[in-house]
Amino acid sequence: MTDVKANLDRVALITGAGKRRVGNAIAWALADRGYRVAIHFHRSAEAAEQTLGELRSRGAVAEAFQADLRSPEETSRMVGEVHRRFGRLDVLVTAAAIWEATALEATSADDLRRHFEVNTLSTFVCCQQAGLIMAAQPEGGAIITLGDWAIARPYPNYAAYFASKGAIPTLTRTLAVELARRNPRVRVNCILPGPVMLPENLPPEERHEAIAGTLLRREGTPEHVAHAVVFLVENDFVTGVCLPVDGGRSIA
């Protein structure tokens, strides 16, 4: 059983947590365990404020921080603001991402560049800046990146997305090595979600195919990913791993 009181001075930053998506569920899971939570948002200011109100009504300490993660300067500024506001940083979860369907013939260099800026570059900058803060803390910290199970079995019309997400496991292992050399109490792991929050506008046949492709024959939820984040935060003998949370779809 987690000792919630032991986490009351600890701080977690979750990118892409303003809207009711995976990052938001992760923020709730960590707040429920006593963490002070920093919620990043880009344009969803209203949704982020609503989340803050709900978290605070439950007794959580929470603040929202805006940044366009396509900009390394804004990303670094945001991480620095979180550190200055709370005085420490114990957990980082990089849940912000874009996922746009485009036929291969129509995919441009700008499409690829935009996906890499949001999904890959921002992950690196967040992890770099937060990781160095954690390395300077005696307690270290935990970083969890979010990839995608389907980088091993990509499906059509998402070439830019899968190229950007395919870099995340290598980035995770690289940072696990780099940061452990600076402080062995800093750990970096990755979660590879499966169908845990299918788009509302997904055609029925594609939704059925995604669910039927899992061994468990059902869609997951953002809370399944949040549970995995909690495991990777709390188990201090796991680093450099990529954990599928996909209902078995990657081996089906």
pLDDT tens, residue by residue, 72-94: 999 999 999 999 999 999 999 99
Q: Which domain holds residue 95?
A: 4-251
Q: Note the pLDDT tens digit of each residue in 29-74.
A: 999 999 999 999 998 899 999 999 999 999 999 999 999 999 999 9
Instruction: Decide if 196 contacts 181 (C-beta within 8 A).
Output: no
Average pLDDT over the chain reads 94
Number of domains in the chain: 1
- Spatial distance between the Cα atoms of 214 and 183, rounded to a whole number of angstroms: 39
The one-letter code for the residue type at 80 is G
Task: Identify the H or E element spanning 125.
Answer: helix 122-135
* Stated pTM of the model: 0.94
pLDDT over threshold 80, residue 6? no
CATH number of the domain within which 219 lies: 3.40.50.720
How far apart CA 22 and CA 38 sit, in angstroms, is 15
Structure tokens belonging to residue 93: 């979860």
Contact 250, 229 (CB under 8 A): no
Contact criterion met (CB below 8 Å) for 172 and 187: no
Cα–Cα distance for residue pair 159/73, rounded to 1 Å? 27
State residue 155's pLDDT score. Answer: 87
